[in-house]
Structure 1
Amino acid sequence: MNPIEELRAARPAHLGDVPTDERTRRSELAYAMSHDRPTRRRRKPRLAWGLGLAGAAAGVTAVAVLATSTGAGTAPRPPSAAIGSGTPASSTPASSAPVRLSAQQVLLVAATSAERRPPASGRFWHTETFARGLVTTSDGYTMASEQRSEMWVGKNGQWSRGQYLGAEPATPDDRAKWEAAGSPAEVRISMPGKGTRDRRLPLAAGKPYSDHHSGKEVFWLGRNVTLDDLAGLPDDEAGLKAWLLRNYEGKDTESDRPMAEDAWLFQVTAGLITDMPVSAKVRGAAFRMLAALPSVTAVGQVTDGQGRSGTAIAIETESRVSARDADHGILQDRLIIDEAAGVALARESVVVKPGGMQAGLAPGTVWNTATVVRAEWTDSRTS
């Protein structure tokens, strides 16, 4: 099958066989030929969902708020682990003149790649994530904090461990302001929607923690779901979309703030793609479903928190903590993917319009990011 036929075959059937302009055909061909084949927080139980990006804006307490978020202005870290079935995610070098693909094209390539991945199995589904985020202190400067966490999910529940890695001024200017304030060992932060009481954020790293939850409902797809629920998900995009929308109530999954259908589907489906143990066909269907959402756009090539190159697709959403918040901003919710490998690398929230928890941050600032270091089946756990 030649590259154009491959992309045509990847197109969701319900989008129809509409004519493609010559510029798009050239872009598709150039792309195909240039790549080788290849908070601890409880709702009911504690749930593994979407790397906690929505939770970073809601239910935020002292250390926990930044333990689930990440920010910009830091040097990338070298890749350190694998994503999916124990196979390292590829990092295809960018060409000297990269072709800019639409979000739909990127996602359809990712869908085809995901469906080609070999099946894998094990006793436990294991994920490891690194998170970094920004918060503005009550004294007006910005701090960045970091967190690492791991999770194992099996028939007998969920095991997790992690560590808050500490915080530091986000930029040289923030460092100067922090030093002028006496270089405090902990800083005060005001949380919108949580009253006037300030919270405290320590700069020093915390102690490692571990936990075990014995319930079976350990994932979140608009409602609590089990491993068996994930195994039974529809593996076509129309069926998967209908299954997910049964849980849509017109609001965010983490709060009562209103959320449009496309944004809700993007949020929930990005979590499914990123860190849930679904089959290759279901993951492919998830990519195809996102490709059909008209509000999803392509950002282009970016670098994730582990220094890996990927392609970001995104949707805009309000940054309200609750429906009652008058002061709110606009965020771009990004999913960074390695489309050639058919896997997700990271989630990011980027400031479009400052407001609320992002007040004082410049448009374009990466407010938080959660990077997938490892997502795979394994037969052992170390927690």
Structure 2
Amino acid sequence: MTRQGRAWIAEEGEIKRVTGRSPFSMAGRDLTYQQIQALPSDAAALRERVAAMLPAGSEGLLADALSGLLWTKPSPPRVRAAAYRALADLPEVRYLGARQDERGRAGEAFSFALPSCVERTLIIDPATSQVLSCSDGGHDGRHEIVLTAGWTDRGPDLP
């Protein structure tokens, strides 16, 4: 989130000013907003660019890095579309069919293994192409639910 040209991060009910590092990263590399906006809109070119950003020997991170462009980065629609196409072409990404997230919202589920051997599952709303939820490792693992996504110029309303 940005506020009056400054970068902020909201975490656990707290707003902190981001200093030093960029608020965005991919495969451990800092990315600026402008670099994300300039990523290719062609799926093959995007896959190649993202793969080149990965550290040597970490090819298993490609699906995770591409999926990050869908829900944890301020990717423009053309880059998001390319990321979806690139993910669909990866042999390690599996379509799981229609599923509901933890809030009962309907979507389409996709999964892939992380290098840690944990299975990551994304549930995506096909009507909006928004990620509804992400879970790692089934019921006992980490779960994140996306309630809303978008841009704002004001901080969150916190109690």
TM-score band, normalised by shorter chain: 0.7 to 0.9
Question: Are 1:280 and 2:85 matched, yes or no?
Answer: no
What is the CA distance between 1:162 and its match in structure 2?
3.6
What is the CA distance between 1:299 and its match in structure 2?
1.6
Instruction: Decide whether aligned partners of structure 1 residues 157 and 268 sit closer, same or farther in structure 2, where only a CA change above 3 A counts.
Output: farther
Q: How many residues align?
A: 156
Partner of 1:221: 26
Query: Structure 1: which amino acid aligns with 2:51?
Result: L
Q: Of residues 36, 58, 61 in structure 2, which corresponds to 1:230? A: 36
Higher relative contact order (CA 8 A, sep 6+): 1
How far does the alpha carbon of each residue in 1:358-382 deviate from its partner, in whole angstroms, 9 at most, with x for none?
xxxxxxx341111111210123224
Report matched runs for 1:157-168 at 5 Å: 157-163=6-12
Residue segments in structure 2 that go unaligned for 5+ positions in a row: none
Residue segments in structure 1 that go unaligned for 5+ positions in a row: 1-151, 164-207, 252-258, 320-329, 352-364
What is the CA distance between 1:265 and its match in structure 2?
1.2
SS in 1 for 2:10: strand
Report matched runs for 1:88-237 at 5 Å: 152-153=1-2, 156-163=5-12, 208-215=13-20, 217-222=22-27, 223-237=29-43
Instruction: Decide whether aligned partners of structure 1 residues 305 and 157 sit closer, same or farther in structure 2, where only a CA change above 3 A counts.
Output: farther
CA contact under 8 A between 1:334 and 1:347: conserved in structure 2?
A: yes
SS in 2 for 1:301: strand
How far does the alpha carbon of each residue in 1:292-317 deviate from its partner, in whole angstroms, 9 at most, with x for none?
10111112222223331211101123
Instruction: Decide whether aligned partners of structure 1 residues 332 and 382 sit closer, same or farther in structure 2, where only a CA change above 3 A counts.
Output: closer
CA contact under 8 A between 1:157 and 1:215: conserved in structure 2?
A: no
TM-score, length basis structure 1: 0.38
Query: Structure 2: which amino acid aligns with 1:211?
Result: K
SS in 1 for 2:36: helix
CA contact under 8 A between 1:156 and 1:215: conserved in structure 2?
A: no
Instruction: Decide whether aligned partners of structure 1 residues 299 and 250 sit closer, same or farther in structure 2, where only a CA change above 3 A counts.
Output: farther
What is the CA distance between 1:154 and its match in structure 2?
5.4
**Which of the pair has more CA radius of gyration?**
1
SS in 2 for 1:376: coil
Q: Of residues 72, 97, 108 in structure 2, which corresponds to 1:311? A: 108
SS in 2 for 1:302: strand
Partner of 2:152: 378
What is the CA distance between 1:153 and its match in structure 2?
2.9
SS in 1 for 2:54: coil
Instruction: Decide whether aligned partners of structure 1 residues 318 and 233 sit closer, same or farther in structure 2, where only a CA change above 3 A counts.
Output: closer
CA contact under 8 A between 1:157 and 1:216: conserved in structure 2?
A: no
Q: Take 1:226 and 1:213, find their aligned partners in 2: how far apart are those partners?
A: 13
What do you get for the CA RMSD once the two structures are aligned? 2.2
What is the CA distance between 1:155 and its match in structure 2?
7.1
Question: Are 1:341 and 2:128 matched, yes or no?
Answer: yes
Aligned-pair identity in percent equals 28
SS in 1 for 2:134: strand
What is the CA distance between 1:333 and its match in structure 2?
1.1
CA contact under 8 A between 2:61 and 2:114: conserved in structure 1?
A: no
Instruction: Decide whether aligned partners of structure 1 residues 293 and 218 sit closer, same or farther in structure 2, where only a CA change above 3 A counts.
Output: same
TM-score, length basis structure 2: 0.85
Query: Structure 1: which amino acid aligns with 2:54?
Result: Y
Q: Which runs of 4+ in 1 moved over 4 A?
A: none
SS in 2 for 1:378: coil
